[in-house]
Structure 1
Amino acid sequence: MQTCLSWAGKTRLIPTAPRIELPRTPQPRDRYLTRKEVEQLIAAADAPHIRLAILLMVTTASRIGALLELTWDRVDLARRVIKLAPNDLGPRKGRATVPINDSLMAALQNAKLSGVSDYVIEWGGRKVGSIKAGFNAAVARAGISHCTRHDLRRTAGRFMAEAGVPIEEIAEYLGHTNPNITRATYARFSPQHLRKAAGALEIRPVVSVRQTKERTL
């Protein structure tokens, strides 16, 4: 709207372009689940495809859109890797090739045996278009505070950082092309974050400080 009004002012369609007060940029969402909350959420998913989707979101750190499009031809159970990108041309945002860990392996093996379509996440033999309703129902049954599907991707990044995984590896896992984006979000969760800086501020010899109690009258 501001662009249109500015153009109208320059072309003298209106005397002058009014100034539009823009709303403040909202604070970034900062919701991370604990490991206990993740376990509760998976346990609360009553439908197998919802449970598998949640497990995939956490263990692959992928967006739900990529997972709903994931087909079995990109899941290599023998080599234990998942190629999230549909091809080498795109879309590739957030779509890395990631390993299959032990937690996910058993679930994928069961899904492969019972599946009847080309899609990893299926319902009634068909591709699933959305898990929003089932996911929100699982959140409610789990009794955890509000969270979104994308919060699981964010949570996966935090879990890796807390385990001391290098930022470059986390960036590759998340499909980030710029590790600085990953560092700005997850570096503070690393157990080594700012440790070197704190070490530079050590005071030697160690000063003993003893508190004195206030005297009461």
Structure 2
Amino acid sequence: MPDISIGRFRGGFCVYWRVDGRRTRHQLAARTRAEAEAEAIDVYRRETFHRAPKGQTVAEMWEAYRQDLGDKPTATTMGYTGKAVLAHFGHYRPDQITTALCRDYAKKRTDSGISQGSVHTELGHLRSAMTWAKNNRLIDAAPHIERPAKPTPKERFLSKAEVASLIESASAPHIGLAIHLLFATAGRVGAILDLTWDRVDMDRAIINLRLDDATTRKGRAIVPINRGLMAALQTEKDAALSDYVVEYGGQQVSSIRKGFTNAVTRAGMDGITLHTLRHSSAVAMVSSGIRIEKVAQYLGHSNVAVTYSTYGRFAPEHLTDAAEVLEFTNLRVVK
């Protein structure tokens, strides 16, 4: 498609482009710039390829996909990511999405200070919505959604001493318990805050992080309770005021982000997020010689290859045999 431009014409908008040096201009019905940009593509295609426009907009399909997700966490997240995505893509139809449009979105977002990882996620949600639309036969084909590469995960991980320091620096018991649970179970924060006492088997020393309704997309595991965590849980169980393991004032805790950040500050650390605890758990297990297959099960990974590609390099024996093949200093040189 050649460069098409939007201009003002008779109090509204018009689209124009050049063919063999001559300018072609057409009045648009759109009343806003965003609507004009989407309509302009239809006008160009109608005038040059005689293709009639049809179908719903990206915004309509995005919302239909969110409704189909129901109460899954992704539906809530898309309520936030959609603010930026739909402002840029909402007025278009899926067949109007181009690589240039995706690149323009990525550039505008990063120029405004948004991280590359966030842009990757936002465009990933758009890709998921378009794939859903195709699978549900709302469109014939899903458009290609180009997105920036996913950033390399940060290598920061905590030692056991640092985890202990974080727990000691917590300003409230429920924050300290949550940190202890996050590290000892390698669970995600959502799983820890969802945990209820009926899924903590003190007799068998097992915690079940799974939910029966299967509303969570990412895997959750059933893990053993070690001695230190058992002592902490027994203390909290005796004082429990609700069904939730992590509680405050007898109520479920919806977020520990602020309390965790304060603990990190008081402990004199930086570059630490809640996910760092899960990452640290995996590193601690692998570096201590626990087999990758067991670590994958502990993390709730359904694909061991994912665990290996992320944490294999922390194994003590990783590449050691390969290095030995390259050993030559014990050889005698024959002259």
TM-score, reference length from structure 1: 0.85
Distance in 2, matches of 1:56 and 1:167, equals 21
Residue aligning to 1:146: 271
1:118-197 equivalences under 5 Å are: 118-197=243-322
Q: Deviations over 1:51-73 (max 9, x none)?
A: 00000000000001011110000
Q: Deviations over 1:151-189 (max 9, x none)?
A: 100110000011011101000000000000000110101
Distance in 1, matches of 2:184 and 2:99, equals 50
- Structure possessing the higher radius of gyration over alpha carbons: 2
Contact 1:62 1:94 in 2 (8 A): no
**What amino acid is the match of 1:113?**
D
Distance in 1, matches of 2:171 and 2:232, equals 15
Query: Aligned pair count?
Result: 206
CA gap of 1:19–1:165, structure 2 versus 1, over 3 A, is: same
Q: Which has the higher contact order (CA 8 A, sep 6+)?
A: 1
What displacement does 1:207 show?
6.8
Residue aligning to 1:12: 45
Residue aligning to 1:56: 181
**What amino acid is the match of 2:323?**
A
Structure with greater strand percent: 2
Question: Aligned with 1:82: secondary structure?
Answer: strand
Percentage of pairs with the same residue:
45
What displacement does 1:39 show?
1.8
Distance in 1, matches of 2:100 and 2:282, equals 41
**What amino acid is the match of 1:19?**
A
Contact 1:71 1:118 in 2 (8 A): yes
Is 1:96 equivalent to 2:221 in the alignment?
A: yes
Distance in 2, matches of 1:78 and 1:191, equals 34
Distance in 1, matches of 2:284 and 2:249, equals 33
Contact 1:74 1:82 in 2 (8 A): yes
What displacement does 1:11 show?
7.4
Q: Deviations over 1:99-129 (max 9, x none)?
A: 0001100000001001110000000011111
Is 1:29 equivalent to 2:62 in the alignment?
A: no
TM-score, reference length from structure 2: 0.56
- Segments of 5+ residues of structure 1 without an aligned counterpart are 209-217
**What amino acid is the match of 1:98?**
V
Distance in 1, matches of 2:267 and 2:243, equals 30
What displacement does 1:8 show?
3.7
CA RMSD of aligned residues (A): 2.8
Residue aligning to 1:203: 328
Distance in 1, matches of 2:324 and 2:221, equals 36
CA gap of 1:86–1:9, structure 2 versus 1, over 3 A, is: same
Structure with greater helix percent: 2
CA gap of 1:181–1:9, structure 2 versus 1, over 3 A, is: farther
Distance in 2, matches of 1:59 and 1:133, equals 21
- Segments of 5+ residues of structure 2 without an aligned counterpart are 1-33, 49-95, 108-147
